[in-house]
Chains A and B, each alone.
Chain A
């Protein structure tokens, strides 16, 4: 889809004759030869037009159409039954995998195919279009290729010059495909991240809101199963970089669960609430809000595409529109079936659910702004749109647990950028290049609006308890699999007394409650990890602490007013005009709620006194 409509080009042509009028005699002669029997061809332009018109009259048009090959017929069908008269080459190629035969077009020597009678400058005349509707069958809609199963390996094809045979040698390297169900992991990770934030241990940049190296390291250790890739063994040049740990801080900020306070993130009220809420609701909310966030343009994550600042940035399209297009495309994917990402991209282009990343690709470049710019003919959909979509799908949708993903390392996974200037040495264009397939899981179906309710995956039942909660208010980690996030939650509520023991104590719990933690979250964790109900002493202790914490409520700020003597204080506290706005605090003091201060001052004046500001 072209972003600009060239104003000088016609958007429709009323009749075939009008269309033919625009061609030269030379072209018209070739078209006339194609439609007629080739004998006694007129030579004058008007005669040629009349000749062609005659051969498209009545049933002859259908005869001409039947002489088209199937791909050409499809091209006709797409326009005849399409929204407008213009042939969309990109969409057609995406749907059919090839372009129709238009004939030869060499410099000024053009030999059109029979399709040239139907399309003129890519537009089908309205009269032809109308007449064709009666006999041209509707084209099959573009369909996703759904897969129950995906291959275990992926073949990377390389070409190498063979010195001996003096020929290109093609060989394949088979790479195992990693399948990653993300649902459970995301649910775990979200809580882990929220707990980390709650503990005040997640720092992000105050400028970019993105996590720094230390935060990424902390997060990597917390996430269930770690990041998608473990690149610790890769050398510096081949490093892939963080995906999940990078995404989570942005996701929670975009979701309104946390906000920057100083240099660390702090849970918002929604975030505090989310700790005790069903996770799927929170994830759905994050995804919803992510659609509109301006915290980050995912294209930024394609580090190799430069020029995204300044002039280049101004040319970039709004992220919300791009995300909406991808979101909409996902809504057409049936849950539970594997879909190749390339197939999704094909489908998006074929159905017109397309998007642009920039209005001015000349400002974007790889390696070098001059030679490496991505201006016309130096990029196609796969370089910009596909990379953007891969990032959104892999880094954000999969991290949130909406999509199960199947992937290989990004190195050499997509070689489509290699022809660009200076790109041959890059190990990959984006760290998301390895994403091959995705599958919308139940959580994804719920969040994308494909299912009314969330049907959670069956939790993995641990054969042995991870924790023991002891009646003496101690919590002992006895299993090997106490997650760092769970350990962190325990740290928030209890004091760690040794390597594997936490102790519930009044001071720590009250502190946690004061900070807005919910004891129910702790109780739930203890029960789930110990596999047993809490000992009665622990249960009562938690109840007692909750009761105590709820016994007092902050209702607002008050101003303390000192009176000259106890009599005056009593007078003001009991006068019917001032009484509603103040309380006697001790003998000579009055407490006035800040919100009532103005009214108190008014009443005080009526009483004959004033309070200096």
Chain B
């Protein structure tokens, strides 16, 4: 190989992935240098994988990074010469960003699309997706943008590979005086962490039109809620917060009242029980996307126009449902903040997040936060448990669709849970599973209260509160425990069954125990798997996800010491 620099940490591959050798002395510098224009795909021990995508390049261009700088960065840290195709792709894609700019017209009333050169103008004028969204051609390179299609135009431009730089700015929302407290409601000192402050600043861009919309990527437990509040404190306007669940809504409410000077009546809930709006309004995606029938209108979309929102926060933006994208396309004149632990969407709609919510503004790898103690370190253990011979036979004879359940409900798991509870006595334990019968048995075995989807919201809150206040030593949770349960002291999670190989579920569940512990102890995440069943294969999918996130992963066989 002609060019080989063994001390360098990057291997740039022709498929546009970049491998980062984390043990290299220059790894940290390289990571910081490529993070703005490459997405971290996986970060297992030893080697992390990044991918350079059109979106990652445009995200970087949106922050002002030049394509020359991106290529130079790769060349500086690459072990081998950078494939010419990769450099060309970065340059070609990077150059496209900003060729189209959406801005206000001279009168400041309407919007215009200004493109860099006449050929592109002709291309757009003839494109079947873009042309219908363009109005009158005001000059050779300037088109009027039809009313109300700003978002759709941005989506269309991203789709054809010419993302627009949206400099049209935002409508002013109704004012909301909001200050972050120095001491929380409980009297404990409260400060916004440096990375949270930096994330908020990266989003706000000092109020310039270059900022005000985009996505902040932080790992579970890193305090995305705090970043949201910090952004609210910078913008000082009425805010609509969209979350994934009622519990999450409760969490936001609790945090807002605890860490900001907002009065209780300033935080309204738009839910099935209460349809209130206020300066800060909380709602769930489920609520917003409700419609009486498949052909009916979304009856709650009126919420987006109910007040003069200066900011809309999309929590867990990777789960944003498609209808919300549609309404968001109409809300491009509002500031939009997406919060998430991952930009990767199972439905592949990352481009819509980029076009409609905005580019990635800030990203911190979880390892860095773990190193700084902002999220807890976690050890993952898979425990394989043999079934009884009779059950093995039952499993073998069962139709394939039922096999997973038989394996998941292996009765021997109960004994293992009891053993683990003994082993982890004194810790704050969550037992989480998929099947209610099994969970009921476990609740009986452990004496922990059981929370399922049927548990009334008030009862859930009471139990969560009890867990937080240590009056309840542990909880047995069904799938309701997957999302946004803020139980900061939970440090042991036993997963008795899961939803096949869902990696997202695995991440969410692990997130439950990643809040930093006051005494710095490591979180422990146990997964119980039936030996020689399809559960092993599903567990491997989940295992891959965890190892790709960099968690240590052990595999034990129960009953073999």
List chain A positions with a Cβ less than 8 A from chain B.
464, 468, 470-474, 476, 478-480, 498-501, 506, 535-537, 540-541, 544
Residues of B with C-beta under 8 A to A464: 6
Query: Do the beta carbons of A500 and B19 come within 8 Å of each other?
Result: yes
Residues of A with C-beta under 8 A to B547: 470-473, 535, 537
CA distance A481 to B544 in the complex (A): 28
Identify the stretch in B38-46, B220-228, B344-352, B475-483 within 8 Å (CB) of chain A at 4 or more residues: B38-46
Query: Do the beta carbons of A478 and B553 come within 8 Å of each other?
Result: no
Residues of B with C-beta under 8 A to A540: 555
CA distance A474 to B536 in the complex (A): 19
Residues of A with C-beta under 8 A to B552: 471
B200 at the A interface (CB under 8 A):
no
What are 8 sample pairs from A and B whose C-beta atoms fall under 8 A apart?
Answer: A464-B6, A468-B47, A474-B47, A476-B19, A498-B15, A499-B11, A499-B13, A499-B83
Residues of B with C-beta under 8 A to A501: 13, 17, 19, 49
Query: Do the beta carbons of A472 and B19 come within 8 Å of each other?
Result: no
Query: Do the beta carbons of B44 and A474 come within 8 Å of each other?
Result: yes
Query: Do the beta carbons of B553 and A537 come within 8 Å of each other?
Result: yes
Q: Taking A498-B17, A499-B15 as contacts, is the C-beta distance between A470 and B536 under 8 angstroms?
A: no
Query: Do the beta carbons of B6 and A468 come within 8 Å of each other?
Result: no
Residues of B with C-beta under 8 A to A506: 537, 540
Which chain B residues numbered 44 to 94 have a C-beta less than 8 Å away from chain A? 44-47, 49, 79-80, 83
Q: Taking A468-B46, A501-B13 as contacts, is the C-beta distance between A541 and B540 under 8 angstroms?
A: yes
Which chain B residues numbered 511 to 561 have a C-beta less than 8 Å away from chain A? 536-537, 540, 543-544, 547-548, 552-555
Considering the complex, give the chain B residue whose CB is closest to the CB of A540.
B555
Instruction: State the Cβ distance, A303 to closest chain B Cβ, in Å.
Output: 35
Query: Do the beta carbons of B45 and A535 come within 8 Å of each other?
Result: yes
Instruction: State the Cβ distance, A329 to closest chain B Cβ, in Å.
Output: 43
Query: Do the beta carbons of A500 and B544 come within 8 Å of each other?
Result: no
Instruction: State the Cβ distance, B457 to closest chain A Cβ, in Å.
Output: 38
Instruction: State the Cβ distance, B359 to closest chain A Cβ, in Å.
Output: 26
B1 at the A interface (CB under 8 A):
yes
Instruction: State the Cβ distance, A506 to closest chain B Cβ, in Å.
Output: 7
CA distance A479 to B6 in the complex (A): 7
Query: Do the beta carbons of A536 and B553 come within 8 Å of each other?
Result: yes
Residues of A with C-beta under 8 A to B537: 506
Residues of B with C-beta under 8 A to A541: 540
Residues of A with C-beta under 8 A to B80: 480
Instruction: State the Cβ distance, A72 to closest chain B Cβ, in Å.
Output: 66
CA distance A535 to B11 in the complex (A): 22
CA distance A476 to B43 in the complex (A): 13
Query: Do the beta carbons of B540 and A478 come within 8 Å of each other?
Result: no
Given contacts A468-B46, A470-B45, A478-B79, 18 further A-B contacts (CB under 8 A): A464-B6, A470-B44, A471-B547, A472-B42, A474-B47, A476-B19, A476-B46, A479-B6, A480-B4, A498-B14, A498-B15, A499-B13, A501-B19, A506-B537, A506-B540, A536-B554, A537-B547, A537-B555
B21 at the A interface (CB under 8 A):
yes
Query: Do the beta carbons of A500 and B536 come within 8 Å of each other?
Result: no
Q: Return the 6 tightest CB-CB contacts between A and B, nearest first.
A: A471-B547, A472-B547, A499-B13, A472-B44, A470-B44, A468-B46
Residues of A with C-beta under 8 A to B15: 498-499
Residues of A with C-beta under 8 A to B543: 537
Interface residues of chain B: helix, strand, loop or mixed (majority): mixed
Instruction: State the Cβ distance, A452 to closest chain B Cβ, in Å.
Output: 42
Residues of B with C-beta under 8 A to A468: 21, 46-47
CA distance A464 to B21 in the complex (A): 12
- Pick from A480, A498, A535: contact of B1, CB under 8 Å: A480
Considering the complex, give the chain A residue whose CB is closest to the CB of B23.
A468
Query: Do the beta carbons of B13 and A500 come within 8 Å of each other?
Result: yes
Residues of A with C-beta under 8 A to B13: 498-501
CA distance A198 to B554 in the complex (A): 34
Number of A-B contacts (CB under 8 A): 67
CA distance A284 to B473 in the complex (A): 68
Instruction: State the Cβ distance, B395 to closest chain A Cβ, in Å.
Output: 15
Residues of B with C-beta under 8 A to A471: 44-45, 547, 552-553
Instruction: State the Cβ distance, A538 to closest chain B Cβ, in Å.
Output: 10
- Pick from A473, A478, A499: contact of B21, CB under 8 Å: A478
Residues of A with C-beta under 8 A to B536: 544
CA distance A498 to B540 in the complex (A): 22
Query: Do the beta carbons of A470 and B6 come within 8 Å of each other?
Result: no
Residues of A with C-beta under 8 A to B554: 536
- Pick from B4, B17, B46, B540: contact of A470, CB under 8 Å: B46
- Pick from A473, A479, A498, A544: contact of B544, CB under 8 Å: A473
Considering the complex, give the chain B residue whose CB is closest to the CB of A499.
B13
Q: Taking A499-B14, A506-B537, A544-B536 as contacts, is the C-beta distance between A472 and B1 under 8 angstroms?
A: no
Instruction: State the Cβ distance, A188 to closest chain B Cβ, in Å.
Output: 19
CA distance A537 to B527 in the complex (A): 14
Considering the complex, give the chain A residue whose CB is closest to the CB of B536.
A544
Residues of A with C-beta under 8 A to B1: 480
Q: Taking A472-B547, A537-B543, A537-B547 as contacts, is the C-beta distance between A478 and B555 under 8 angstroms?
A: no
CA distance A536 to B44 in the complex (A): 13
Residues of A with C-beta under 8 A to B42: 472
Interface string of B1-44 (1 = CB under 8 A from A): 10010100001011101010100000000000000000000101
Residues of A with C-beta under 8 A to B46: 468, 470, 476
Instruction: State the Cβ distance, B27 to closest chain A Cβ, in Å.
Output: 12
Instruction: State the Cβ distance, A552 to closest chain B Cβ, in Å.
Output: 13
Instruction: State the Cβ distance, B349 to closest chain A Cβ, in Å.
Output: 24
Which chain B residues numbered 449 to 494 have a C-beta less than 8 Å away from chain A? none
CA distance A464 to B25 in the complex (A): 13
Query: Do the beta carbons of B45 and A478 come within 8 Å of each other?
Result: no
CA distance A470 to B47 in the complex (A): 7
Q: Taking A472-B548, A499-B15 as contacts, is the C-beta distance between A478 and B4 under 8 angstroms?
A: no
Residues of B with C-beta under 8 A to A473: 544, 547
* Most chain B CB within a 10 A radius of its CB, from A470, A473, A480, A537: A537
CA distance A498 to B47 in the complex (A): 14
Considering the complex, give the chain B residue whose CB is closest to the CB of A470.
B44
CA distance A479 to B19 in the complex (A): 12
Residues of A with C-beta under 8 A to B540: 506, 541
Query: Do the beta carbons of A478 and B47 come within 8 Å of each other?
Result: yes
Instruction: State the Cβ distance, A211 to closest chain B Cβ, in Å.
Output: 27
- Pick from B11, B14, B44, B49: contact of A478, CB under 8 Å: B11
Query: Do the beta carbons of B544 and A472 come within 8 Å of each other?
Result: yes
CA distance A21 to B63 in the complex (A): 116
Residues of B with C-beta under 8 A to A474: 44, 47
Query: Do the beta carbons of B11 and A536 come within 8 Å of each other?
Result: no
CA distance A536 to B381 in the complex (A): 11
CA distance A434 to B11 in the complex (A): 43
CA distance A541 to B547 in the complex (A): 13
CA distance A470 to B42 in the complex (A): 11
CA distance A499 to B17 in the complex (A): 9
Considering the complex, give the chain A residue whose CB is closest to the CB of B14.
A499
Considering the complex, give the chain B residue whose CB is closest to the CB of A464.
B6
Residues of A with C-beta under 8 A to B553: 471, 536-537
Instruction: State the Cβ distance, B180 to closest chain A Cβ, in Å.
Output: 39
Residues of A with C-beta under 8 A to B14: 498-499
Residues of B with C-beta under 8 A to A537: 543, 547, 553, 555
CA distance A464 to B44 in the complex (A): 19
Query: Do the beta carbons of B19 and A480 come within 8 Å of each other?
Result: no
Considering the complex, give the chain B residue whose CB is closest to the CB of A541.
B540
Residues of B with C-beta under 8 A to A476: 11, 19, 46-47
Considering the complex, give the chain B residue whose CB is closest to the CB of A547.
B532
Considering the complex, give the chain B residue whose CB is closest to the CB of A471.
B547
CA distance A463 to B21 in the complex (A): 16
CA distance A478 to B6 in the complex (A): 9
- Pick from A480, A498, A500, A535: contact of B6, CB under 8 Å: A480
